[in-house]
Amino acid sequence: MIEVRTATIAAPGRLLNEDAVFHIGDLVGVLDGVTQAEGVDTGCAHGTAWYVRQLVASLCTHYTDHPTQPLSDLLRHAITSVCEAHPECDLTKPSTPAATVCLVRTGSTATDYLVLCDTTLVIEADGDVTAITDSRFRDVISMLRSIPAALSTAEAVDRNRGYTAGKWDHINTPGGYWIAAANPEAAQQAITGSLPMSGPSRPQRIAMLTDGTACAVESLGIMTWPTLLKVLAEDGAAELVRQVRAAELALADASSLTGKIHDDATAALLLFPEEP
């Protein structure tokens, strides 16, 4: 039997957690709501946290009704349902509430996954660890900010978490980046794949991360992907977040960050039993 451990922790001082994690049946999901910059007109009266909760509820409902449906179709139907849930809002604005999504559905013969925008899926199989994320968002941000290939840790965190003017011109459009918002087509643009449940490619552990936990490797550089999996499995998500928070505070003390220091942090860990 597959063991699933989940945790989501709001950023210090934040009233609402805009991340979410859920586990229903064979489906596990991790979502990261897009924090809106102050003064941006989203056209929606509900906000990001509401959107994320509605998307989770819709995903669970559609999964219950269609448990074997392709994950991209499941997400497409969920996005459509949430759009229909608030017709009074102007969803044509590019800055309408949005969320990144990572889904994993386990099965007897295969485990399917979906990654949309900058959530991260970390897979350990046959002693190798592979991280999968959708790089299109970061490509757009790099283009808009002319980010060089090599950055200091402080620059990487600052540019990743700060507000980037002009990014909405590239949302959910060919050549830009795709995210769960008001356009169901985004689901069809997600990265999807399948892992066999037998043989050397069979997963032993899978981690699903928002950027608030993936940053331990990607921007803060305080551990490797194998180490992150080890911390999650042996010490739990709370310890991973503790180390992330400590590194963020140390970075803020040693530099002049202009973006937010902390982010909501969410992780799901799937532990697969040994193959019979």
Average pLDDT over residues 93-98: 78
* Residue showing tokens 């980010």: 147
* Residue showing tokens 């992330």: 244
Q: Of the candidates 168, 145, 163, 161, which has an alpha carbon nearest to the alpha carbon of residue 93?
A: 168
CATH class belonging to 3-271? alpha beta
Q: By CB neighbour count within 10 A (0-12 exposed, 13-18 middle, 19+ buried), where does 73 fall?
A: middle
pLDDT tens by residue, 210-262: 999 999 998 889 999 999 999 999 999 999 999 999 998 888 765 555 556 77
Please determine, for residue 113, whether its predicted confidence score (pLDDT) is greater than 90.
yes
* Residue 170, pLDDT score: 80
CA 171/CA 1 separation, integer angstroms: 39
* Residue 263, pLDDT score: 83
DSSP string, 106-151: --SSEEEEEEESS-EEEEEETTEEEEEE-THHHHHHHHHHT--S--
Helix, coil or strand: residue 273:
coil
Lowest mean pLDDT among 87-101, 190-204, 216-230: 87-101
* Residue 138, pLDDT score: 80
pLDDT tens by residue, 39-84: 666 656 568 899 999 999 999 999 999 999 999 999 999 999 998 8
For the chain, the domains span 3-271
* Residue 248, pLDDT score: 87
Q: Which residues contact 142 (CB under 8 A, 6 or more apart)?
A: none
* Residue 84, pLDDT score: 85
User: Which pLDDT band holds residue 142 (cuts at 50, 70, 90)?
Assistant: confident
DSSP string, 49-91: HHHHHHHHHHHHHHHHH-TTS-HHHHHHHHHHHHHHH-TTS-T
* Residue 96, pLDDT score: 81
Lowest mean pLDDT among 26-35, 104-113, 244-253: 244-253
- Residue 18: count other Cβ atoms within 10 Å of its Cβ: 28
Average pLDDT over residues 254-273: 79
Q: Contact, 104 vs 113, CB < 8 A?
A: yes
End-to-end, the C-alpha distance of the chain in Å comes to: 12
Question: What angle is formed at CA 120 by the lines to CA 189 and CA 216, rounded to 5 degrees?
Answer: 150
Sheet of strand 19-24: strand arrangement: 19-24, 27-33, 99-105, 110-116, 191-196
Q: Which residue has the higher pLDDT, 234 or 169?
A: 234
Beta bridge partners of 162: none
